[in-house]
Amino acid sequence: MIDSFFEELSNEIHNGVTERGHPFRFITMATVGNETTARLRTVVLREVNDDLCLTIYTDGRTQKMKHIAVNNKVSFLLYHPEKMLQLKVEGIAQVVTDTNRLNTNWQNIQPNSRKDYITEHSPGSAIKNPDHVEYIEDKNHFTMIDINPLKIEYLKLKRPNHIRVLFTKADDKWNGEFLVP
């Protein structure tokens, strides 16, 4: 029985990449560097492999990159409002260094979307006018981050009883246990 919940969460995470408009396409990511407060932001889920490794894209100069350099433990929150399904994912972030993979993915980014990775100044820098952002054409700050999940908490809000399951990964195998919702 518990395997069916893992199958559902796996399918829904994969659908976040493959189905247009799926609520798991845009997810909330939390990081903590040397600070005492978690920083949250919305990121786009770009890839999911069979082991549920999640991939996102970012500019290499962002605050999340600074946090990951100090503390590579991250978490994600995914919520599907129609299915009343919430997933909390905890994992280890790894910056992708494979130049072939980076170049292939960079080439697949639409030209108008590449501007997110070619600004003169780093994301979050103060500017006087949003219409005057400067772009550089000869280099980019495109970065990919893989997140290998270690825990996934499944919460299905339903009647008569909510269902909550904690899945943990050990020795490349997922194990689940029911929790009090």
Q: In a structure prediction context, what are the per-residue pLDDT tens digits for the chain, which is 181 residues long?
A: 899 999 999 999 999 999 999 999 999 999 998 888 999 999 999 999 999 999 999 999 999 999 999 999 999 999 999 999 999 999 999 999 999 999 999 999 999 999 999 999 999 999 999 998 999 988 999 999 999 999 999 999 998 999 999 999 999 999 999 999 9
- Give the model's pLDDT for residue 141: 97
Structure tokens at 86: 């919430």
CB 36 within 8 Å of CB 64:
no
* Strand (E) or helix (H) holding 28: strand 26-31
CB 119 within 8 Å of CB 62:
no
Residue with tokens 């978690």: 38
Which phi and psi angles does 7 have, rounded to 5°? -60, -40
Residue with tokens 């246990």: 177
Put simply, whether the predicted model's pTM sits higher than 0.85 gets the answer yes
- Give the model's pLDDT for residue 39: 95
- Give the model's pLDDT for residue 36: 81
What is the spatial distance between Cα 65 and Cα 62, in angstroms, rounded to a whole number?
A: 5
Query: Of the CATH numbers 1.10.238.10, 2.40.50.140, 2.30.110.10, 3.90.1150.10, which one belongs to the domain with range 2-123+133-179?
Result: 2.30.110.10
* Helix, strand or coil, per DSSP, at residue 99: helix
Contacts of 132 (CB under 8 A, 6+ apart): none
- Give the model's pLDDT for residue 166: 98
Q: Count Cβ atoms within 10 A of the Cβ of residue 46 and give its class: 0-12 exposed, 13-18 middle, 19 or more buried.
A: middle
Number of CB atoms found within 10 A of residue 9's CB? 24
* Strand (E) or helix (H) holding 6: helix 2-18
Q: Count Cβ atoms within 10 A of the Cβ of residue 8 and give its class: 0-12 exposed, 13-18 middle, 19 or more buried.
A: middle
- Give the model's pLDDT for residue 34: 83
Radius of gyration of the chain (CA): 18
Which 8-state DSSP code applies to residue 130?
G
